Structure formats: C-alpha cells, structure tokens
Structure 1
Amino acid sequence: MLPRCPVCGKPMKVIQLRCDDDGVTVSGSFEAPSFAYLDEEDTRFIMMFLRTKGNLKEMERLTGIGYFALRGRLDKVLEKMGLTPIDEDEEQVDSNDVYKLLKEKKITVEEAIALLKKKRGETDGRTSE
C-alpha cells in the first residue's frame, strides 16, 4: 500500500474496500494503519520483535546485532509509525556510554546523535498518536 502520496508526500486515504469472494464493495474514506508506513525490512523486524515477545536481548542473541543497535532500530520504526514510547525515562544512557558505543561500532552515528539529543531533552516537534 502507498501510505503517502508519491508526488507531495502527504498521507493518502483508502476510498474503497472490496471482498473478492462475493464482490461486496464498501466505499468511504479510510486512513492507512500505522503499519502501512513500514517497508518490508521494518515489517520483518517488528515480526521478530513480536515473536520474541519484545525481548531485545533475545533478538540480540538470535541476530548477532547489538542491543543498542536494535533499540535504535526500534526507535526508528516507532518514529515511522508516528508513535513515541510510553516510558521515555526507562533507560537513561550517559553521554560517555554513547561515545563508547559509537567507538565500538555498536551504534551508528545517527543513533548516537539521537541518544544525545534525547538525553538533552531535544525533540523534533512531532506529536504522537
């Protein structure tokens, strides 16, 4: 599904649903679900996240990807879906830890910047649903 217009980038609306079995059609204006904003790779990530019952440590064990990289990936998926975590204070990362993780290549530069901004309380002005 194309959740955003390929020309202007604004959210698109679904205007018709159809059942292939009996031909019933329902017309209206339907918003795309948050999951429609995820690409295939993000969807696979969320499927694994659900199958491990939200356990990032288990995902780390299964994939070999570091915990903080997985955490950053989850944050990006949440952002794509327009969601914010319920408990933002859950894990406070010290600035020195961020630099250490970056040096050890356990997180990307983008993830490090996001963690440092989060620590300083900066936001991008987006709202959550």
Structure 2
Amino acid sequence: MKLPIYCPSCENPLKVSQLKCDACNTQVNGNYELPLYLKLSRDEQDFIMEFFLASGSIKEMSKQAGISYPTMRNKMDDMIEKIKKMTSND
C-alpha cells in the first residue's frame, strides 16, 4: 500500500501524526514532516533507487531503460530541479 502524501479532500500535504511500535505497542504522537524522499511520487522514488543501483551512472540507467543518454539526462535534470524547489520551500 502506498503512503498517502496529500489530503484526499483538499490536496494539501499530509504530515505524520502518529508512529507505533508493533512489538510493544508504544505510540508516539506529534506533528512530523515527511522525509523529502517520501514526498516524491512512486515513479520518482523508483527513479532514485534505479540511479543508486546503477552506481550513479546515467549511462547505465539509459542502457537498462532502453532510452538515449540525453533523454535520461533530461529526466535526471527535471528530478534535480524538482528536489531543489522542494528544499527551497522548507
């Protein structure tokens, strides 16, 4: 199941308000920000994981995906810009 990151009613970002330990049932309540990685779409998270597993090689990623290096580089640049915007708003 995918973690929801936006309110289904008003589409504003959601925050974590409770964490629970399955082993001892301890619960922690508060108002916590989601980590940046979890604020990204599933496709964007997968892209980052693929980049990591390709040892940071855009060339290897483009080869595995069967697309040209420039296309993969553009996807990477778009992701970098999105993350920069997200971190500048914090």
1:14 to 9, 13, 16: 16
Query: Which structure 1 residue ranges, 4+ long, deviate > 6 Å from structure 2?
Result: none
Which residue pairs with 2:30 in the alignment? 28
- Determine which of 40, 43, 46 is the counterpart of 1:41: 43
Q: Deviations over 1:35-94 (max 9, x none)?
A: 112233222211110011221011112221112221222233341xxx22xxxxxxxxxx
Larger radius of gyration: 1
Match of 2:4? Answer: 2
Who is 1:88 aligned against? none
Which residue is equivalent to 1:98? none
Percent identity (aligned) = 35
The verdict on how the C-alpha distance between 1:3 and 1:60 changes in structure 2, with shifts beyond 3 A counting, is same
Output the TM-score relative to the length of structure 1. 0.57
Aligned-pair Cα RMSD in Å = 2.2
How many aligned positions are there?
A: 86
State the 1:22 CA deviation.
Answer: 1.1
Q: 2: CA distance between counterparts of 1:63 and 1:126?
A: 26
| Residue 27 to residue 47, structure 1, CA distance change in 2 (3 Å) | same
Please state whether the residue corresponding to 1:15 is helix, strand or coil: strand
